[in-house]
């Protein structure tokens, strides 16, 4: 099913709400578990969720070509393995609101990768957006942490690690576009999630804390896990795939413009994270960059090489 432009924009809003709530859910999980435990558990639950959905819809093994399988492995590594590892490692040392704004820079990377692969032109807006985003990220790290998070080498390193997550998501967004012209969003997102979960499964063996931390997870933790795994990684991935089918990559990446607004509000209501002036100022620069880059991209009718 292909959405109309207006329907895609509404679905985009729903995706933003789910992903905004995920930052608070992730913070709750990271307060109870190690980053590797969170990553391995939520991706395993999400993969099982996709398997159930695909079984209910009677989806068999996808009719992928060899090149399709190569691409789906790339999507699993970028959109699941890399994104989730670097996201969890970075968020473990940063407030949820700040994390959401750093990850909100993904449209910058989407536009850059789309330009480098010849899908969209790198325009003056791209350059302006990159300057605004860089300024915003510097302000966020130096001034937007909150009174309880001093500027230390650990915080700077966490922010640098976290930036890899939106870069991974930007690449995923660009590379998923041609796959979604040939296959439905559930198949693409589901197979990518299953492959990503398989690449992360050794963590259950390598990290001795994973199983004990899962056993000690309380009611609040399991609720946060369901929001983070089934909501963020299953429902939102499927909906985002539907949006990506209907909109150009950099317009679909507008999730990063709206998601932080939900994330900051939910983190304030649930976690008590008070927005600081530095957070708001840095957020304005990042969101302005996203808005500049996402306005009327010039699409070139080519696809990234398979």
Burial of 125 (0-12, 13-18, 19+ CB in 10 A): buried
Taking 70 as the threshold, does the pLDDT of residue 224 lie above it? yes
CB-CB contact of 160 with 59 (8 Å):
no
Q: What is the pLDDT of residues 59-105, one digit of tens each?
A: 777 878 899 999 999 999 999 999 999 999 988 888 887 787 788 77
Between 39 and 300, name the one with better pLDDT.
39
pLDDT of res. 164: 93
Q: In angstroms, what CA-CA distances link 180 with 66, 96, 176, 247?
A: 16, 31, 6, 11
Model confidence over 286-299: pLDDT tens digits?
777 766 766 644 44
Q: How far, in whole angstroms, is CA 123 from its chain's centroid? A: 25
Q: pTM of this prediction? A: 0.76
Tell me the per-residue pLDDT of 95-153, one tens digit each, with 9 for 90 and over: 887 787 788 777 778 777 877 777 666 677 767 777 777 777 666 656 554 545 566 77
Cα 222 to Cα 153: distance, rounded to the nearest angstrom: 32
């Amino acid at each position: 099913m292909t959405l109309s432009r207006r329907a895609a924009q509404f679905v985009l809003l729903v995706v933003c709400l789910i992903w905004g709530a995920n930052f608070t859910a992730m913070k709750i999980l990271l307060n109870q578990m190690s980053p590797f435990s969170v990553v391995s558990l939520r991706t395993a639950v999400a993969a099982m969720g996709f398997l159930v959905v695909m079984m209910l819809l009677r989806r068999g093994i996808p009719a992928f070509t060899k090149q399709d399988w190569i691409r789906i492995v790339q999507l699993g590594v970028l959109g699941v393995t890399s994104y989730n590892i670097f996201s969890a490692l970075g968020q473990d040392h940063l407030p949820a609101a700040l994390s959401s704004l750093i990850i909100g820079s993904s449209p910058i990377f989407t536009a850059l990768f789309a330009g480098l692969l010849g899908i969209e032109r790198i325009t003056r807006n791209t350059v302006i957006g990159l300057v605004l985003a860089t300024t915003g990220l510097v302000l966020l790290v130096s001034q937007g942490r909150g009174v309880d998070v001093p500027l230390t080498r650990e915080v700077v390193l966490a922010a640098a690690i976290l930036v890899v997550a939106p870069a991974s998501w930007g690449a995923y967004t660009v590379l998923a576009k041609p796959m979604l012209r040939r296959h439905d969003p559930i198949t693409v997102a589901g197979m990518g999630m299953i492959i990503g979960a398989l690449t992360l499964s050794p963590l259950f063996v390598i990290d001795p804390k994973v199983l004990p931390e899962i056993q000690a997870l309380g009611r609040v933790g399991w609720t946060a896990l369901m929001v983070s795994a089934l909501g963020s990684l299953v429902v939102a991935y499927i909906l985002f795939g539907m949006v990506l089918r209907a909109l150009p990559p950099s317009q679909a990446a507008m999730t990063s413009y709206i998601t932080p607004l939900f994330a900051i509000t939910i983190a304030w209501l649930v976690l008590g994270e008070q927005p600081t002036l530095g957070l708001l100022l840095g957020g304005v620069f990042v969101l302005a960059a996203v808005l500049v880059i996402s306005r009327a991209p010039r699409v070139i009718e080519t696809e990234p090489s398979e």
